[in-house]
Amino acid sequence: MSKDIVLAFSGGLDTSFCVPYLKERGWAVHTVFADTGGVDAEERAYIEARAKELGVASHVTVDGGPAIWNGFVKPFVQAGEAYQGQYPLLVSDRYLIVDAAIARAKELGTKAIAHGCTGMGNDQVRFDLAVKALGDYQIVAPIREIQKEHTQTRAYEQAYLEERGFDVRAKQKSYTINENLLGVTLSGGEIDHWKTPGEGARGWCKPRAEWPSEKLTVTLGFEKGEAVSLNGEKLPGAKLLAKLNELFAPYGVGRGMYTGDTTIGLKGRIVYEAPGLISLLTAHRALEEAVLTKQQNRFKPEVARKWVEVVYEGFFHDPIKTDLEAFLTSSQGTVNGEVVLETSGAQVTAVEVRSPHILNAKGATYAQSADWGVEEAEGFIKLFGMSSTLWAEINR
């Protein structure tokens, strides 16, 4: 007798494999695609057609753009730190995908949730902990179930699908590709072996030979640390980020490679592309540096790194995240103004900052002029360096 199960579905190799695998074990598979902004209309149509081709009991597409902006982008940009100083947490849509899957499960009256995560990666931790935090659900993970018997899981999945008459896209044979509003991540193939990524390992960002010849200049407006306008036009967050992706990707902005220390202890190497998110981070940091105090600018990165660590490792619903966000929100009260960004390719630079909260001294400009004299400067230096100077005198 069939049992209902909700599968978080992307149309990729792993989740495509999950459908016949689950059906052959007696499940009626209901797929949910949480559209978190990384695909166009053609790709959405492909995903829906793929689900139908695989024979699912039902399929729904959920708009996850607003949720990913409010639930992740806003606090992430306000935090201002990447994981291990490099990776901009592009997989954080997983938590919004879980929300969509659970909402669908409630509609169907089932307590069974499935995902296509492997037993070798971080996503399984994010999915499982998010599901456990939101209710008492049965979690089924087909890729984890097969990996003990089949060490080359991608090859096995491909053969499994083809034997049942389902084609596998060429790019899915070489790489694991994830796209959402935040950007693109690519792994697999030569990337996993610390070799030069092939030409196929490219998402939105154009190669150097295709960069536009003219410089790109944009102006971002912020209110309390949240980007609210682009070139003077007020835009909802998700649409603003999508527009930044569209503007900066042709210049190759936001593309990088990194090797991370994963939650489960393995080294993970990926190619990532986040043109819009990197642009937002650059603008926000430039504004924040100008309006926060020295003590705020020194301490805040410690809170930000902890927030990033918590989100990266799957503790999206742990109360520590809310605690940290209370500090981040408090720190953003004067982060208001506009930042002008420029790029000619690869890197984006904040070239101008405008804000009524910039901490300018009325009578002094760094390295240019001051409204204090030589005695005051010498006295400050003497007292500020007293301990170090005494140590040097005593221990010569």
Q: φ and ψ at 58, to 5 degrees? A: -160, 160
In single-letter form, the type of residue at position 215 comes to K
Q: φ and ψ at 334, to 5 degrees? A: -110, 10
Residue corresponding to tokens 């992706």 = 245
Token code pair at residue 164:
């049942």
The per-residue pLDDT for range 156-192, each reduced to its tens digit, is 999 999 999 999 887 656 788 888 899 999 988 899 9
Residue corresponding to tokens 């070489």 = 174
Helix (H) or strand (E) holding 256: strand 255-261
pLDDT of amino acid 2: 61
Residue corresponding to tokens 């980007």 = 227
User: Within the chain, which residues score under 50 in pLDDT?
Assistant: 1
pTM value is 0.88
HSE-CB at 14 with a 13 A cutoff on CA atoms is 28
In single-letter form, the type of residue at position 264 comes to I
3-state secondary structure of 4: strand
Residues 6+ apart with CB under 8 A from 131: 98, 101, 102, 113, 137, 139
Q: Where are the domains of the chain?
A: 3-173, 184-354, 364-396
Contact 285, 316 (CB under 8 A): no
Residues 6+ apart with CB under 8 A from 229: 220, 221, 235, 240
pLDDT of amino acid 373: 80
Residue corresponding to tokens 């399929």 = 59
3-state secondary structure of 91: coil
Specify the length of the chain in residues.
Answer: 396
List of E strands, 67-132:
112-114
Tell me yes or no: is domain 3-173 CATH 3.40.50.620: yes
From the centroid of its chain, how far is CA 213? 29
Number of CB atoms found within 10 A of residue 388's CB? 9
pLDDT of amino acid 147: 87
pLDDT of amino acid 171: 60
Give the architecture (CATH level 2) of 184-354.
Alpha-Beta Complex (3.90)
CA angle 268, 125, 320 (to 5 degrees): 105
Smallest CA-to-CA distance from 180 within 226, 115, 238 is with 238
Token code pair at residue 361:
């001294």
Token code pair at residue 319:
């109360």
CB-based burial label for 47 (10 Å; 0-12, 13-18, 19+): buried
Give 207's DSSP letter.
P
pLDDT of amino acid 321: 97
Smallest CA-to-CA distance from 174 within 162, 158, 163, 160 is with 158
Helix (H) or strand (E) holding 270: strand 267-273
Interaxial angle between packed helices 275-291 and 237-248, expressed in degrees from 0 to 180 and rounded to the nearest 10: 110
From the centroid of its chain, how far is CA 143? 23
